[in-house]
Amino acid sequence: MPSLDQIPARHNDQVEANSDDEADPELVELLRQHLGLGGGKVKDAPPETKVLEGAQYVFDNAIDVAVSREFTKEAAETIWRLMQKKEYSTQTWSEHELHPQTKDESTVDFIFTMDLLNFSFWSAEEEAPKRFCIEYRGKLWTGYWSLVAALQRALDEDIPITTPDFWVDEERCTEEVLRHVFRSATDEEIPMFKERVQCLREAGEVLCEEFGGSFANCVDSANLSAAGLVNLLTENFSCFRDETIFHGRRVRLYKRAQILVADLWACFNGEDFGEFHDIDKITMFADYRIPQMLHQLNCIRYAPKLESHIRDLKPIEPGSNWEVELRGTSIWCVELIKREIERCHPEVKMSGKKPSPKATDDNDANDDNENEENKAIEKADDDNDTPRRTYGINAILIDFFLYDTMKNLEAEHNESIPHHRTRSIWY
């Protein structure tokens, strides 16, 4: 890929999905199968989400976002070492006080509701005390945690906010009730309130009409396939169908559908409702925090015009070339990090449906080779240098780790760049 400094940022032009200029490759493939021309899918082949395939296509064709192989390799070693030290695993998910502690069907309903509404929490307010937040059990919660706190608070108030039957009953689940559920401790309301209500109504109808009013039935229909569950979500619920057109080709990003599967897997520790035999088909979840963290690590670089745009806090339109490049390239970059960790430390490779503990090698990277951005991660970590045991590593755990680390750096005001501003239901 040529140097970004030599290429000006291009306009955010999009090829329409129904453009006559290029044929949709999936339609061509369907036609080939219909005509018996071969090369089609094998009957009963394992489900595929095609997210990683699309991310590589975006990376290969991106102009304004690039990956640094050198810094990606350095970051991989640092991430591996810190995840070992922090004993980062599926158990980490349940350690947060707001995440559900029970492991039953009601938890499945909670996770579905949580990820159904898990989008767009950033605020344009410059002063933190003025931003939307939820007060729950004596604490103020912002961002993603504000949503989790709002759901827990509603359940404490005997509002069945995680029940699909409730969402479709507009006499009980009124807009007034929902505004009460998401009431803020500040004057700023939750972003995209109407879109969240629409997601609840639509998902409730689908669950009640197609899956007996329970998302657990949808999980059962996936037959222990993570990719299969992602596909069920995106095929049946339009509010999970996170797709776009990039250079004439459909690209699947599926942030919320994938993180829903990942949250089930992590919450149930790869068992019961969280048991998936192909969990490694889930990629990183393309949002606005992980690109920010990858830029902090120098793993991804922006063209000057794009970087200035982000630093000036200017909005980036959903589906624009810039936005797709940011998200798609981030997915591919995390994949490269994962592959580098597995290459250097094959003992942590996670294959199979159930996570299992592995001992660390205690062969830490040479600190003299770390760059300043990698040291920033260390600063956000605790000072415990005791080697620990940990589970394997996959894109899910790397994403969780990078997200948590970025939030810590933000709290310390140590970000090297703001996150990009895109207002969207997809993340």
∠ CA 295-111-282, rounded to 5°: 50
CA distance 244 to 321: 10
Instruction: Tell me the torsion sign for CA atoms 377, 378, 382, 387.
Output: positive
Q: Where are the beta strands (DSSP E) in 210-291?
A: 243-246, 249-252
Contact yes or no for 214/106 (Cβ under 8 A): no
Contact yes or no for 265/288 (Cβ under 8 A): no
CA distance 305 to 148: 36
CA distance 287 to 256: 9
Instruction: Tell me the torsion sign for CA atoms 218, 224, 227, 228.
Output: negative
224 contact partners, CB below 8 Å, separation of at least 6: 275, 276, 277, 353
Instruction: Catalytic residue, from 64, 115, 278, 287: name it.
Output: 287
236 contact partners, CB below 8 Å, separation of at least 6: 206, 210, 218
Indicate if 399 belongs to the active site: no
Q: Which residues are catalytic, by number? A: 287
